[in-house]
Amino acid sequence: MKHITLRSGILFSLLVLGACQSQKPAADTTISTGVNNDWSINPSNAYSLYPNRVVQGEFEAKAISPTELTSNYKSPANLTMTPTVVFKFAINGRDNEMAPGTDHIFNCIPSDGKCVTPVITFGKQVKADADVPKDVYLTPNTKMTVRLDMRPVLEAFKKQGAYTSPTGDKIYKEDFKGVFIAGGTDPLSWDFDNLGSRKELQLQDPDGDGIYEITLLMNENREEKMTAQQWKMTRDASAFPQYQSEYMIADALHNLALEEMINAVEPDSTFRTGKEWAGVWTRDISYSIILSMAQVQPKVSMYSLMRKVKDGRIVQDTGTGGAYPISTDRVIWAVAAWEVYKATGDEKWLRDTYAIIKKSLQEDQKNAFNPETGMMRGESSFLDWREQTYPRWMQPADIYESENLGTNAAHYQANIVAAQMADILKDIQAAAEFRKSAESIKQGINKYLWVDKTVHYGQYLYGRNYKILSPRAEALGAALSVIYGVADADRSRQVVMNTPLTDFGITSIFPQIPGIPPYHNNAVWPFVQSYWALAAAKVGNEESLTASIAAIYRPAALFLTNKENFVATNGDYAGTQVNSSNMLWSLAGSLSLVYKVYFGMDLKADGIELKPFVPKAFAGNRKLTNYKYRNAILNFEMSGHGNQIKSITMDGKPMEKPFIPATLTGTHTIKIELANNEVVSEFGYLKVRYSPDMPKVKYVNGQLTWPAVEGAEEYHVYKNGKWVEQTKKTTYTVDTDNYGEYMVMAVDSDRSTSFGSEPVMVVPGKYKLVYEVEKAAPKSSQPYRDFSGTGFIEISKQKNKYVKLTITVPEDGVYAIDFRYANGNGPINTSNKAAIRTLNYNGRFAGTIVLPQRGDGEWSNWGFTNAVDVQLPKGSHTISLTFEPHNENMHGEVNQAMLDYMRVIKIR
C-alpha cells in the first residue's frame, strides 16, 4: 500500500494524521466486471472505501450490483449518550432564565427507568454534585421528570404586574404564555427561536401550586435512528445519463442519486427539497441546480426556479428576523438560472430571468450595499440558524450588518452572470454596472476577509459601529470563492490546501462553537462537500479531491440515502438537530462528481468545455452514456487518471480542443484518454476542534471586566475594530473621554479565538443625542409598554411613510444614527415581515434602516436597528425616514414597525 503524507494546513499549525491511498492496477480498455475488491483508500483512518463497499468499524455497506446496496449501519446515538443533561428554562420560549452559557446540569441516572430532578427555582443555577464516569451512558427510553419552582415569578406578577428576569427581560403578567425547557440532549433543543411553538417542551402546573413539571422521554429509540438494510432500484432511470465504471460502489451511488432525484419531483413538476422538507426553497433549489439538476432535469429546474419569483423579483424565503434584507443570499438563484440557460440555450428563459435578476440586484444594491467595504450585507448563505454560526448576542439587525464570505461570493457571481446575460441581450450600460458591482465585491472580499497571517478567508465582518473579522473558516464561502474566481490562482491553491478536512469531511465552519449542538456547528453537509470537491478539482489538489469524493460516498452508502447532514465528530446522521433523507442538494452533489469532476463538464453559453479530473485512487475506465445536451445525445468513454487529456476523439476523429459546441446535433461518441499525469498537492486532516467560549464582558466606572474563560491562555481587546491589547488579565481600563466600542476575544493554546464579546459602547454624554420620534409624528394608540418618553409612533405602508426630525450636532464628525423599535409581526427565525426604510439627511440618501422581526406578537420587546453612519458638520440638520419602492419586503403587504426614539452618536 502506498502511503501519502499530508502536510498540515498553515491555517491551524497542527500535526496531521496520515492518510493512505493505493494505486489501482492499470485497467483493460473495457469496463472490468471483476474489480480488485481488496484495493482501498482510508481517508483519515476513520473508514475505508473499497470499489464495492464502505467499511466503518463494525459497519459495512456493500454494492451487490450497480442497482442494489446493503448496509448494516445503525446509529450509535442511543448507545453512547451521556447521562449528564444540560438545560435551562425559558419563559415564553425565550432565552431569559440566566445569562447565555449559564445552565442547569443534572446527571440522569435512572432507577426503574426513571430519574427526577430536585425542585429548581427559576433563575437559580443547579449543578450536578459529581462527574459521571466515562463508561456510563444514558439508558435508552429513560423518563426524566423536571420540577421547576415558578413561585418567585408568579409572586412578581401578582405584586408588580411584571417579572424582570436575570437577563433583564421584563415579562408582563398578561404576556405570560408559559415556561419551556431547552437543552442539548434529545428531545431537548437549544433552538429558542422555535421553542415557544413546541408544546411538548412546555412545563405544566396542573394543581396550581406554582411547581411546574414535565416528564421527558430521554434517548428514545426512534425509527429515524435506524437505516434501511437494503436499497434496490425500483424507478426507471433510463431517460437519464447512465454511468458505469470499475467501482461498483460509485455506480450504485450514482443510481441511488438518480432514483432519489426522480422521487423528489412533485406532481406539479417542481422539486421537493427533501423527504422531510416539502416545497421549493430558493437557496436549496439553486445550489442543487448549479451542481447538476440543470444538466439532468432542466425543465423541472425551470419550474422550480419560477416558483420562487414574486412581483418580478427573486424571493428570499428563509432567514433571520423576517428574511430580506437581513438575509440576501436569494441572489444564488441568478447563478442557477444562468446554469439552466447554459444547459438549454432557451432564449425566452434568458430574457425572462434576466429581467428578474436585474430588478433583484438593483434592489440589493440599495438595501444591502456597504460603500465603505464595497461588499454586500446579509446573513451567511445557508448558515441561517443564528446561534449555530453567530455569537449569541447578535440580534437580527446585527446579522443584517454583517458581511459574510459565502453571501458575498454569491453576490459576486450573480453580478457576473447578470453582466453575461446583459451582453447577450445587448443591455450594454447594465452590463457595465453589473461588472462594476462584481469587481467592488471581489475587491472587498480580498481586502477585508482575507487573513494574510494564516492564508485563508475569514467568516464575516461583525460588530456594531465598528466591525472585526471572525477568523473561522467557512467551507461553502471558501469553495465558492475558489470556484467563481473571487480568489486568484495563488490564493485559490492556498485556500484549498489550508482549510482543514476533519475525519468525515469538511465542517461548515472550523473550529466549532462550544455549547452548540450539531447542525451547522460540528456538522458536515454533503452538498457543501460537493462544492469543495469542485474547488479542489479546479485548483488541481488531488488529495483534497480524493478525500472529498470519499466523504460524499461514505454516508450515502452507509445510510442508503442522501442525508441532509451528519455529525462531524462521529459521522452519524442521528445526532444533528434536524435532518432529512432524500435531500435534493445532497443527491445533486453526488451526481456532480460524475458530470463536473470525473468528466469535467464546464457549461458555457456556447458549449461545454471538458476539464476531466480523475484522481489516481479512482483510475480506470468509465462510461457515461445517454447524456442529453440541447439537441445532441452524448456518449462518453474515458480511461486513465489525472487532470490532463492525452487524446480526445468524437466519433473516431480527433477533436481540436476539448469543447463540445452548443450547435451540435445528433448522437455522438466522445473518447478521452487521460495522461496519467502526477498531480502534486497537499492539504491537512484535523480532528474536530472547538474554539474557547466567548468572554462575558461588563463595563463599570471606566473598567471592562469578565470572568475567566475555560481553556483561555490570553485575551485580545479591540477598540473601534482595531486590536489594542493582549493580556492575561480579565480587566481592561478604557478611555472615557472619547467614543469607544470594545470587544474582547479569548485565545487558547492552539491560537484559536472565540467570538468577540458583545460590543460595549463607551460614549461621553455630549456625544449621545436622543430624539423622541413621537414629537415629529402622530403618537400611536397601541397599548404597548416599556417605551421611552411619552409614547411611540407606528410606521407602515399606510402610516407615517415619511418621518422628518431636526437635529443639532455639537461638532463636526461622523455620527451613527439608529432607532429603538419594535416589530412583533413574526418570530426571529421565520416569516417575511422585516420592515425596511430609507434614511436621508438634508435630502440626500444616507443608507437603509432595517427593522427585523423580534418575536411573534411581542410588541413590547424593543431593540435597536442597524446604524447608518453620516458625516455631519456642526449645526442643524434634517433627518428623514421614508418608505421607498425598493424598501418592499418579501411579504409585500405588511411592512410595519413601532418607533420609540432615534439615537445620534458621534463615533469619530
Each residue's pLDDT tens digit, 705-755: 999 999 999 999 999 999 999 999 999 999 999 999 999 999 999 999 999
Give the whole-angstrom CA distance, residue 512 versus residue 661. Answer: 46
Residue 516: its pLDDT value, please?
A: 87
Which DSSP string corresponds to 147-200? EEE-HHHHHHHHHHSEEE-TTS-EEEGGG---EEEEESSTT----HHHHTT-GG
What is the mean predicted confidence (pLDDT) over 371-390?
A: 95
Longest dimension (CA), the chain: 91
Query: Taking 80 as the threshold, does the pLDDT of residue 5 lie above it?
Result: no
Rounded to the nearest integer, the mean pLDDT of the chain is 92
Element (H, E) at 474: strand 473-474
Residues 6+ apart with CB under 8 A from 541: 493, 496, 497, 679, 681, 682, 683
pLDDT band with cut points at 50, 70 and 90 for residue 13: very low
Pull the grid cell for residue 898: 413601532
Residue 881: its pLDDT value, please?
A: 97
What is the mean predicted confidence (pLDDT) over 795-802?
A: 96
pLDDT band with cut points at 50, 70 and 90 for residue 830: confident
Query: Taking 50 as the threshold, does the pLDDT of residue 30 lie above it?
Result: no
Give the whole-angstrom CA distance, residue 364 versus residue 500. Answer: 33
Q: Which residues pair with 886 in a beta bridge?
A: none
Q: What is the pLDDT of residues 621-630, one digit of tens each?
A: 999 999 999 9
What is the mean predicted confidence (pLDDT) over 281-304?
A: 98
DSSP state of 878: E
SS3 502: strand
pLDDT band with cut points at 50, 70 and 90 for residue 222: low
SS3 54: strand
pLDDT band with cut points at 50, 70 and 90 for residue 664: very high
Give the whole-angstrom CA distance, residue 640 versus residue 823. Answer: 61
Residues above pLDDT 70, as percent of the chain: 95
Element (H, E) at 638: strand 632-639
Measured in degrees and rounded to the nearest 5, phi and psi for residue 809 equal: -105, 145
Give the whole-angstrom CA distance, residue 460 versus residue 467. Answer: 9
Q: What is the pLDDT of residues 568-585, one digit of tens each?
A: 999 999 888 889 999 999
What is the mean predicted confidence (pLDDT) over 410-435?
A: 98
pLDDT band with cut points at 50, 70 and 90 for residue 31: very low
pLDDT band with cut points at 50, 70 and 90 for residue 79: confident
Residue 223: its pLDDT value, please?
A: 61
Query: Taking 80 as the threshold, does the pLDDT of residue 384 lie above it?
Result: yes
Give the whole-angstrom CA distance, residue 43 versus residue 62. Answer: 18
Give the whole-angstrom CA distance, residue 288 versus residue 583. Answer: 10
SS3 857: coil
Pull the grid cell for residue 426: 445587448
Residue 681: its pLDDT value, please?
A: 79
